[in-house]
Amino acid sequence: MPDVVHAERIARPVGPRGFRRVVAAIGLLYVATIFLAAAGVRADKVLPRPFLYFAQIADLFPDEATVAIEYRAEGFVCAEGKYREIDERVLFAIHRDDKENKFFRAMSFYHSPDNKSDGKVMKALADYIVREYDKDPSVSPIGGVMLLSLREPIAAPGEHVPRFRRTPLVEHAISERHPWHVTSPAAAAKRCAELGHPVPADTPAGRSLP
């Protein structure tokens, strides 16, 4: 005599059939994105960044690191008419002394000059730094910023590796610095003039003004 299957013991699918098909399609797209990333296929120009953020687990560290990367900022000092290093950490209080602060995160994920959305993020980040930095009356106003990465060679296996400490940019070779976003001296000088701190006329930026 065949067993009697009670209805309450049968596993029922969640949601209507259309909903299940959509979930299945999203799941297949997610798995396919992971496999494509592992194969070296660039999907960042096709798929939205929020989706890629959760799908890039297979291609996080495809190669060994040869340099240690830091991100820094230089400000166009109105009184000097030139760029010099500023301490951007005061504007990003959470994890200000390590690589988990918002400045490092934004620079790490959105510094590509080939991506239009990255350019918008860099401009917004630069505008924020200039605006907030100039609110401090104890510092010389700036009219623009240069956002750059600092790439220090990693010691070879077996060599001594010193503990991390933040060192001034002037102690690093020009070859170790890579600018990603720069406010033009003319635009920075114009902002300085709008702030009531015109750039000295005997500086290159000052001489470029009409």
Which of 13-17, 36-40, 128-132, 186-190 is the least confident region? 36-40
- Of residues 10 and 100, more confidence is placed in 100
- The reported pLDDT for the residue numbered 133 is 94
Instruction: Tell me how far apart the terminal alpha carbons of the chain are, to the nearest angstrom.
Output: 100
- The reported pLDDT for the residue numbered 129 is 95
Kindly tell me if the per-residue pLDDT of 191 is higher than 80.
yes
Domain boundaries, the chain: 14-58, 67-207
Indicate the DSSP class of residue 57: G
Contact call for residues 73 and 85 (beta carbons, < 8 A) = yes
> pLDDT digit string (tens) for 31-87?
888 787 777 777 777 777 777 777 776 556 667 778 889 999 999 999 998 899 999
Query: Facing residues of 117 across strands?
Result: none
- The reported pLDDT for the residue numbered 205 is 58
Which of 3-12, 47-56, 107-116, 172-181 is the least confident region? 3-12
- The reported pLDDT for the residue numbered 59 is 58
- What are the residues whose beta carbons fall under 8 Å from the beta carbon of 108, sequence distance 6 or more? 69, 71, 99
Q: How far is 146 from 82, CA to CA, in rounded Å?
A: 11
- The reported pLDDT for the residue numbered 203 is 67
Tokens 């470029």 found at: 208
> pLDDT digit string (tens) for 94-132?
887 777 888 988 898 887 767 777 888 899 999 999 999
In three-state secondary structure terms, 3 is: coil
Contact call for residues 99 and 106 (beta carbons, < 8 A) = no
Contact call for residues 189 and 205 (beta carbons, < 8 A) = yes
Helices (H), the chain: 17-38, 49-53, 102-110, 116-133, 185-194, 204-207
Q: What percent of the chain has pLDDT over 90?
A: 29
Q: How far is 126 from 170, CA to CA, in rounded Å?
A: 21
Tokens 């296929």 found at: 41
Q: What percent of the chain has pLDDT over 70?
A: 86
Average pLDDT of the chain to the nearest whole number: 83
Among 139, 157, 125, residue whose Cα is nearest residue 197: 139
